[in-house]
Copies of this chain bind each other. A is one copy, B any other.
Amino acid sequence: MNSMVALRSVFVDGGCFSRFQDKPKMLKARKRHVRIFAVSSQKADKSIKVGILGASGYTGVENFYSVLSIPIILNLIRNIFIANHPYFGISLMTADRKAGQSIGSVFPHLITQDLPDLVAVKDADFSTVEAVFCCLPHGTTQEIIKGLPTSLKIVDLSADFRLRDINDYGEWYGQPHKASELQKEAVYGLTEIYRNKIQSARLVANPGCYPTTIFLPLVPLLKASLIALQDILIVSNSGVSGAGRSAKEANLYTEVSEGIFSYGITRHRHVPEIEQELSDAANSKVTVSFTPTLMPMSRGMQSTINVQMAPGVSVKDIKQHLKGFYENEEYVTVLPNDEAPHTKYVQGSNGCHINVFPDRIPGRAIIISVIDNLVKGASGQALQNLNLMMGIPENTGISCMPLFP
């Protein structure tokens, strides 16, 4: 019996609990077990069957290649299910335009993986799965999710259920929301902030990548009234994998390499999501400045956030509050001293690195946060959420060790 626990412990470590040295409680929990050399090649149980909707990223003729969703899907498949996750197994993958094909024929690097063939969503047998990750494009997601069995747990990676006010959705996405009842049920999946609600949710709207970089530092500060609601100025840089599906020429190598440009200035679609959550945290309407810029790199995202501190509050206070807030969190790290966050230091991991700096303008502070937009900004957080929803340890199957170089 004792040995069972010992063995179970291994899965959990598929994620990572090795932590800062100033988190003694967690470290103390580590024990040295007896050495066992049983050699076995049986599979993990992977007894929870899940599905991926929109698994090919090819979603329609006019939309022949979704740069946004393909990398996210590949991360879901990679970081999570196949490589590391002891409980989840993929038994269903839908892709309407590629129905009938093997995943290896769509993504050759998956040729050695044992994955189900692609089927059309209308032909999918949802009775065989307990949960789905929905990777369909914004706008088509609502009706498909409406048609799913209510017994399924759903993590939706599109924007379709992120805006609580369906009028906001209509305004920013140019079409009325088609599943307003479901919207009421949806929980916003910023794991560190909404963990309790997520645990009992059936439908989780996984946050956008830009919003994640902004909320992890700002939500705790707004809740604690440490910063002003006025003049929150955010300038974000993103790797091209987050650039979105519509910009076809703009994503070609010869266009992206060795150059940068801003896009969606004043009116990027993540703005209503950003202002919704910040207003909630502040309990008052918040309007932000937000300018995203596209970088010549595949992954990685940085937000440089300039805030006015509340009267009497110092940079040290802000940093201390964030340190305390995330002390027991595995994936959010407030960096020591004046170390600048590097996107490469979280690349491929579910981590978010944050630091706070004094501004030259008195009373203002500069907060910089970085994530891997495909992991903490998409598939990594999605898995965090489904783990919670299924009652297994939140970090199961999630690497927190960055890939570098």
Q: How far is the CB of A204 from chain B (nearest CB, A)?
A: 19
Are A86 and B10 in contact (CB-based, < 8 A)?
yes
Stretch from A118-126, A205-213, A251-259 contacting the other chain = A251-259
Are A235 and B304 in contact (CB-based, < 8 A)?
yes
Copies of this protein, total: 4
Count A interface residues, CB 8 Å: 136
Q: How far is the CB of A389 from chain B (nearest CB, A)?
A: 13
Are B13 and A361 in contact (CB-based, < 8 A)?
no
Are B400 and A112 in contact (CB-based, < 8 A)?
yes
Known: A84-B14, A344-B109, A344-B259. A366 touches B265 (CB 8 A): yes
Task: Assess whether A176 is interfacial by the CB under 8 Å rule.
Answer: no
Q: How far is the CB of A171 from chain B (nearest CB, A)?
A: 14
Measured between alpha carbons, how far is A249 from B249 in the docked complex, in Å?
11
Stretch from A43-51, A152-160, A189-197 contacting the other chain = A43-51
Measured between alpha carbons, how far is A346 from B78 in the docked complex, in Å?
12
Q: Looking across the interface, which residue of chain B has its beta carbon closest to that of A38?
A: B8
Q: How far is the CB of A245 from chain B (nearest CB, A)?
A: 11
Task: Assess whether A224 is interfacial by the CB under 8 Å rule.
Answer: no
Q: In the complex, which residues of chain B have a beta carbon less than 8 angstroms from the beta carbon of A139?
A: none
Are B266 and A240 in contact (CB-based, < 8 A)?
no
Are A43 and B14 in contact (CB-based, < 8 A)?
no
Q: Which of A254, A302, A333 has the most CB of B within 10 A?
A: A254
Q: In the complex, which residues of chain B have a beta carbon less than 8 angstroms from the beta carbon of A290?
A: 360
Q: In the complex, which residues of chain B have a beta carbon less than 8 angstroms from the beta carbon of A260?
A: 237, 295, 297, 300, 302, 342-343
Stretch from A24-32, A179-187, A316-324, A376-384 contacting the other chain = A24-32
Q: Looking across the interface, which residue of chain B has its beta carbon closest to that of A87?
A: B35
Measured between alpha carbons, how far is A298 from B20 in the docked complex, in Å?
29
Measured between alpha carbons, how far is A43 from B289 in the docked complex, in Å?
44
Q: Looking across the interface, which residue of chain B has its beta carbon closest to that of A64?
A: B248
Are A306 and B289 in contact (CB-based, < 8 A)?
yes
Which of B19, B32, B46, B249 contacts A47, CB < 8 Å?
Answer: B32
Are A20 and B112 in contact (CB-based, < 8 A)?
yes
Q: Which of A67, A253, A335 has the most CB of B within 10 A?
A: A253
Which of B7, B87, B258, B364 contacts A4, CB < 8 Å?
Answer: B7
Are B262 and A304 in contact (CB-based, < 8 A)?
yes
Q: Looking across the interface, which residue of chain B has its beta carbon closest to that of A13?
A: B44
Task: Assess whether A288 is interfacial by the CB under 8 Å rule.
Answer: yes
Which of B29, B364, B391, B399 contacts A37, CB < 8 Å?
Answer: B391
Residue pairs across A and B with Cβ atoms less than 8 A apart, 30 shown, are A2-B3, A3-B6, A8-B42, A10-B45, A19-B114, A33-B47, A34-B45, A36-B45, A37-B391, A108-B339, A109-B342, A111-B333, A233-B233, A239-B258, A251-B252, A251-B254, A255-B405, A257-B297, A258-B344, A258-B347, A259-B300, A259-B343, A260-B300, A261-B344, A262-B304, A265-B366, A266-B366, A289-B366, A291-B368, A293-B304
